[in-house]
Structure 1
């Protein structure tokens, strides 16, 4: 079933970059309700609540439904890149991941999430 949780085999760094990305929304990043909606959340409050839940699930290594994997990835991509809404140029200072390392990890995560749900209706 599309909503069944799926475990994706992540490296420690891949897991950490997602955790850091989600945590940034509760810190230096500023999200509007509209942006939260585009990322798949109801509004900014839901984004903050869901980021905490997803962050905890990533720490625990819990499987997640496809929609949650995609939300975590989308939220991390946007908070990393956007200087207006996210961490942007401060990403390295606030997370400890260089831009180059983050891009490499995000590309791996994009492939892993896509591969995990290839052909599934999520």
Structure 2
């Protein structure tokens, strides 16, 4: 794994495979369709609310597509969005993930575990400090 500070604004480049990028893009993208966020889940993902999540989702998806570096909070947002969309049948795609995204569950879990390992150093420090807390609380 390569962690390279890409630019002076704090963005971090992480070497991901094409499958890993595809998985994150699928996970982030799921929240713009039938899978709808509540303000609570938006806050858990590090957004100030649903409108902010829509705007930021488009930006994060675009950066992932370009292979660009992301801010640590954006890596965390992409990861949590993907985890919820893939695994949760209550708020995400759950058992329908493979049908909706075209990524089979076996491939998705293997790829997700790889992404989690690569992002751990960047995202762990954000738990309860920008991620999982309601802004201003």
TM-score, normalised to structure 1, is 0.89
| Gaps in structure 2 of 5+ consecutive residues | 130-137
> Runs (4+) of structure 1 moved beyond 6 Å?
118-122
Give me the whole-angstrom Cα distance separating, in 2, the residues matched to 1:5 and 1:82: 29
Please say if residues 79 and 85 of structure 1, whose CA atoms lie closer than 8 Å, have aligned partners that are also in contact.
yes
Equivalent of 2:117 in 103, 108, 111: 111
| Gaps in structure 1 of 5+ consecutive residues | none
Let me know the Cα RMSD of the aligned residues.
Answer: 2.3
Equivalent of 2:69 in 55, 59, 63: 63
TM-score, normalised to structure 2, is 0.80
Q: Which residue of the partner structure matches residue 23 of structure 1?
A: 29
Greater strand proportion = 2
Task: Give the SS at the match of 2:12.
Answer: coil
Matches within 5 A, 1:78-89: 78-89=84-95
Shift in CA distance, 99/48, structure 1 to aligned 2, threshold 3 Å: same
Please say if residues 39 and 49 of structure 2, whose CA atoms lie closer than 8 Å, have aligned partners that are also in contact.
yes
Q: CA deviation at 1:52?
A: 0.9
Q: CA deviation at 1:28?
A: 2.1
Aligned residues: 121
Cα deviation digits, residues 26-85 of structure 1 (max 9, x gap):
112121101110111111111121111100000011101111101110111011111221
